[in-house]
Structure 1
Amino acid sequence: MWSSDRRNFLALLAAAPVAACGFSPAMAPGGAGHALWEQVQIDDPAERTGFNYVTRMEERLGRAIRPRFRLTWTFATQAVGAAVTPSGNITRYSLIGRVNYSLIRIEGGQTVTSGSLESFTSFNNSGSTLASVTAERDAYERLAVILADQTMARLLAAAPK
């Protein structure tokens, strides 16, 4: 048996359990999340972290063309010193973020799902001013993406048919 034949055989063998369990992509036509694609109007952001959150949500949901749902959300962050030198300088921060969200059906105003999610990331503050500011900005962006992905997972789990 040629090695390429073995690879094809093993790939088919590995895919068999997935096909047998009824797995299908959530955003594919007929998938759980297809009802949300391009149908969720997301509240506008007021600051940079919110912009990163909305951008990630729109990457995952598409821009609303025929909005049937509205996603309301609030974002809160807190930077907490995580590493302190003996002289009292903070060299590392933990960035804690929380998003509260509600998916509301526009027609009728019923809440489809809502919740609160929390996550964290961190950044180093011991380099130059430019390096510290860049690291902090990157940490806020990573946190927004993490929370958007968590929100998306919850929306897919509660997606209307």
Structure 2
Amino acid sequence: MSFDRPTRRTSLLGLFALAGCGFAPIYGEDAALHGQVAYETDETVDGFRIRSQLERRLGVAAQPRYLLKITKTEERQTSAITSDGDTTRFNVIGTARWVLTDSGTGQEVDRGTVQAFTGYATTGSTTATQAAETDAAARLSVILADRVVSQLMILSLDLPA
């Protein structure tokens, strides 16, 4: 009888092979950009949320080697309408454009754009709808910041140590 799942020996050999090839995690305290980046975001609540998430993921730099500028835009689109024509749900679509520059030289290292969306319902009271809209904007800011970090982590593999 044969099994399709890997044995313990196969799993251990696979881990040793990864260790031997120079495999290293790109997240964490030893990441190339951790503690190396200063952030410039919009002077808005969403900009503050993006900056806070970036600081959680990449740390705060005492002497930054890079400057990351992020600009966020968003739009709302109707995603559900009743037969009476009342809107019951909105999608919030966000775009974050980022530029990473070398703090010492001012030279652009890379740039990119990330997009994401989230939604909220408008079926509750006015207060509930406003709270849902605020929560959707907060979630969108965190999602966009995380996507920027993902792109930066891939980029960091090519940056000089």
**Same-fold call, TM cutoff 0.5:** yes
Q: 1:62 aligns with which of 56, 59, 69?
A: 59
- Against the structure 1 CA distance between its residues 91 and 117, is the aligned structure 2 distance closer, same or farther, given a 3 Å change threshold? same
1:15 shift after superposition: 5.4
Partner of 1:20: 17
Aligned to 1:56, the other structure's residue is in SS state helix
Deviation for aligned residue 1:121: 0.8
Sequence identity percentage: 32
AA partner of residue 24 (structure 1): A
Q: For the residues of structure 1 that align with 2:46 and 2:40, how far apart are their CA atoms?
A: 13
- 2:130 is matched with 133
Which residues of structure 2 form unaligned runs of 5+?
Answer: 1-6
Shift of 1:112: 1.3
Q: SS where residue 79 of structure 2 aligns?
A: strand
**8 Å contact 2:79–2:89 — kept in the other structure?**
yes
Alignment coverage as a number of residue pairs? 149
Provide structure 1 residue ranges, at least 5 long, that are not aligned to the other structure. 1-8
CA distance in 2, matches of 1:149, 1:35: 16
Q: Which residue of 1 aligns with 2:87?
A: 90
**Are 1:123 and 2:129 counterparts?**
no
Matching residue's letter, 2:74: T
How much is the aligned-residue C-alpha RMSD, in angstroms?
1.9
Task: Give the CA deviation at 1:71.
Answer: 0.4
TM-score scaled by length of structure 1 = 0.84
Per the alignment, do residues 28 and 92 of structure 1 end up closer, same or farther by CA in structure 2, a change over 3 Å counting? closer
Residue matched to 1:154: 151
What TM-score results when the alignment is normalised by the length of structure 2?
Answer: 0.84
Residue aligning to 2:32: 35
CA 118–44 in structure 1, closer or farther in 2 if over 3 Å, else same = closer
Deviations 1:99-156 (A, max 9, x none): 0001100111111111111111111111111211111111111111111111001111
Is the contact between residue 42 and residue 72 of structure 1 (CA under 8 Å) also seen in structure 2?
Answer: yes
